[in-house]
Structure 1
């Protein structure tokens, strides 16, 4: 089966720990306890493709993939983050001669470029001024740069942010079992608390591996890329809504971990899966929703099983009953966005749907 037709699971399995290029760093890596790996385990991993797959164990609630707060005991909203934007001008600290950084084509470049020629490591050691979702400043250090093996033009960055609570440098990215030391991609612009993307000159987002922004890029929707002359920026933004089941376009997710979905689009970046695999069985899936950059355009049912009426209370006047005027080939919706015609969507997805409740035990006569 072609990778373009594989069903998508929320937490993308990235080549973070196997097969990635060694990090380029201006300071020694912290000493960590090394796990003992037997020869049998080590040899079992030989000769295997280490390129990024679109199938992995899921999660799906994080947009940036960053920690919500430096204080783990503090109640937080899912729309908060310790780091939402980074300014590229006027670094707080940089290598000699570097006056600013520039974002282009999925990576950062030193300004002015070195006379010997630009490399990914030119920006390592730079400390930039960032901002948290509450508007407070936070310094961000670039500690390493790792070109992606499957696409060397795209660079993953090892970053640390200054934790003003603990008074130490710390990786702001949320670690999960599959990616215990997550990296970040540099992405142009800023995402606000509603999940909307805003173009901002000389500002980027450091999007962590376990968040929707980065996962959608690795799935194929890099916002700086194009396909058949059409920019993928809109598809990427729609994907960030889809990946988190943000139906109302308000930044709130409606999904659980371990939820499998299948994504497809009209450009053919991702095609609908038709063959059963260990992770996905198309015969058990059904249409869930269609998506635009600002949320769902039509909805058949919710992904997490909550009543559709409950969801509609979250964004009243946004949806109405589907008038049923869509072409027969289009999956049937239960509700459709007010004022949005069929065909306006950029992405569509299938999912298994909520599990059916167990039947009550039969009463004895």
Structure 2
């Protein structure tokens, strides 16, 4: 059955929170002051010790993670406390587990736990991760919850070691709808430009409130296929579309609570034809067509900024000229110089910032 999907992008405005951390435990004489030993650090994992730290929405997100552990530090949207994680070697593991591997949408321990084991061997493991600035960060897997819709896809409750507060914290950004976000383990690594690369032995823990996970939940599972065609490129194009990353450089061009309608060339998602409380097709218009590396052509911007600003932001990428007709009344006013607009995998409609009221996200 064909589906239609209305998506409200909750792209939050930065709000800084001030929290006073409790005093760190008195360090042992053999250690530098303020530094927790390895044994003590691992013993404290998954204990919810950092609940006192106030988390606020931090802006548009690709990974759905915090930009920096220091909430008072000004950081840009392409920063993250966690962008990739190594499957091996493990920093810590229970039950004799020596490595993890990713199968589709879930992790598997190696060697496999013996029959009758009380755990899968995945939960409790500590992995080595990396932040966007290249600094190492340890990641603990604290829980595993299979998706009700797809048991082969597992949501993980993760914590990362915050070296600033000397505590384990959930690196995922919480919002009102998802106050305790989990993460999916996704093959590949996304860099600051939003580009995905296959890196052997590495994966991404993508949090629920980020574009990577949203696109998976909307049906574009990068490990799956449809009619013999891989959905990996559809998923990547979706991550660009969600954030209005026209130039394919990791910068978003949208506003909070902007409602959009997504549809694709495979017919997985179709345009919404019937008006509802969340969407009025009569007031919507075509915005852009999308490929894995950004927009292939644009009719207008989602946040109503002038198209000229996009052309200046990524010079030599788009060209003006005769309008491009895509059919069904959809028309581009600027197009990529190196890609045919018809090669796009996804397209979207939106109201534009001045054409309709924002609505709450009903899709997640």
Runs (4+) of structure 1 moved beyond 4 Å? 26-33, 117-120
Residue equivalent to 1:272: 271
State the distance in 1 between where 2:335 and 2:343 align.
11
> Which blocks of at least 5 consecutive residues in structure 1 are unaligned?
13-25, 34-57, 358-365
Deviation digits for residues 23-59 of structure 1, max 9, x if unmatched?
xxx96666979xxxxxxxxxxxxxxxxxxxxxxxx99
State the distance in 1 between where 2:118 and 2:237 align.
32
Aligned pair 1:179/2:186, yes or no?
no
Q: Is the 8 A contact 2:124 2:140 kept in 1?
A: yes
Deviation at 1:118, TM superposition (A): 9.1
Alignment of 1:196-345 (within 5 A): 196-324=195-323, 326-329=325-328, 331-345=330-344
Residue equivalent to 2:349: 350
Q: Is the 8 A contact 2:129 2:137 kept in 1?
A: yes
State the distance in 1 between where 2:119 and 2:323 align.
52
Deviation at 1:266, TM superposition (A): 1.1
Q: Is the 8 A contact 1:11 1:215 kept in 2?
A: no
Deviation at 1:115, TM superposition (A): 2.7
SS in 1 for 2:316: coil
Q: Is the 8 A contact 1:7 1:280 kept in 2?
A: yes
Relative to structure 1, the CA distance from residue 113 to residue 166 in structure 2 (aligned partners, 3 Å threshold; closer, same or farther) is same
State the distance in 1 between where 2:133 and 2:292 align.
24
Deviation digits for residues 298-342 of structure 1, max 9, x if unmatched?
000000111111121100111012534545436100100002113
Relative to structure 1, the CA distance from residue 131 to residue 151 in structure 2 (aligned partners, 3 Å threshold; closer, same or farther) is same
State the distance in 1 between where 2:167 and 2:49 align.
13
Q: Is the 8 A contact 1:5 1:273 kept in 2?
A: yes
Q: Is the 8 A contact 2:324 2:331 kept in 1?
A: no
Q: Is the 8 A contact 1:297 1:340 kept in 2?
A: yes
Q: Is the 8 A contact 2:323 2:334 kept in 1?
A: no
Count of paired positions: 319
Q: Is the 8 A contact 1:110 1:118 kept in 2?
A: no
Q: Is the 8 A contact 2:48 2:169 kept in 1?
A: no
Relative to structure 1, the CA distance from residue 340 to residue 61 in structure 2 (aligned partners, 3 Å threshold; closer, same or farther) is same
State the distance in 1 between where 2:166 and 2:252 align.
32
Residue equivalent to 2:82: 83
Deviation digits for residues 139-192 of structure 1, max 9, x if unmatched?
000000010111111100000000000010000000000000100000001000
State the distance in 2 between where 1:206 and 1:173 align.
9
Deviation at 1:245, TM superposition (A): 0.2
Deviation digits for residues 226-274 of structure 1, max 9, x if unmatched?
0000000000000000000000000000011110000000111111110
Residue equivalent to 1:22: none
Relative to structure 1, the CA distance from residue 66 to residue 118 in structure 2 (aligned partners, 3 Å threshold; closer, same or farther) is farther
Q: Is the 8 A contact 1:109 1:118 kept in 2?
A: no
SS in 1 for 2:3: helix
Relative to structure 1, the CA distance from residue 345 to residue 330 in structure 2 (aligned partners, 3 Å threshold; closer, same or farther) is farther
Relative to structure 1, the CA distance from residue 104 to residue 322 in structure 2 (aligned partners, 3 Å threshold; closer, same or farther) is farther
Q: What's the RMSD between the two structures over aligned residues?
A: 2.4
Residue equivalent to 1:194: 193
Aligned pair 1:161/2:160, yes or no?
yes
Deviation at 1:354, TM superposition (A): 2.3
